[in-house]
Structure 1
Amino acid sequence: MGGFGFDSGKLKASGDKGDMYLVLQVVLTEKFIGTGSGVSSLTNLQATINEQAAKGYRLHTITTVSSGSKGFLGGDKIQATMIFEKVL
């Protein structure tokens, strides 16, 4: 079995530039057929966290939920929702 990779990119809640909290949602898709060990998923999540840290936010909360399957040979989806808090 392959690893997870970004399916539809990042979704960001709309808000103002000075918001104290930022909510990002990332949808990952498990590749049923292919190579990989999930390292790309961790790299993508790490990049997202580091991108927000560079903007002055720290990860406050992360939750994951299984959000369905693409069916036979399609793999599963995992939805990660991250809440970032502005560092003052």
Structure 2
Amino acid sequence: MTLQPPKYTWTASNAKDALTVLDAASKLITAHLMTLDPDNPYPRAALCRETSLDLTLDLDLSAVVEAINKARQPDEQCQPGDSASTNN
């Protein structure tokens, strides 16, 4: 019996979904590798290096970086010397 090579496409629109997709992809790769060496409880490093696969990842962190930059902006309503603008 010959297996047909599966191809997967996932999308995520928030950090939680992105992490879930990455975890699922990692587990799927591991499961397929384990079929090549079923006597080991996890894929050997040599098997991982020697087994080719294609992975394309397009990761856009611009919204996260924008949120980080916004969070780092000083509160515009606080004036220098105000207790709210100091780290007490």
Which protein has the bigger strand share?
Answer: 1
TM-score, normalised by the number of residues in structure 2: 0.38
Q: Is the radius of gyration larger for structure 1 or structure 2? A: 2
Which protein has the bigger helix share?
Answer: 2
Which of 1 and 2 has higher RCO (CA within 8 Å, sep 6+)? 1
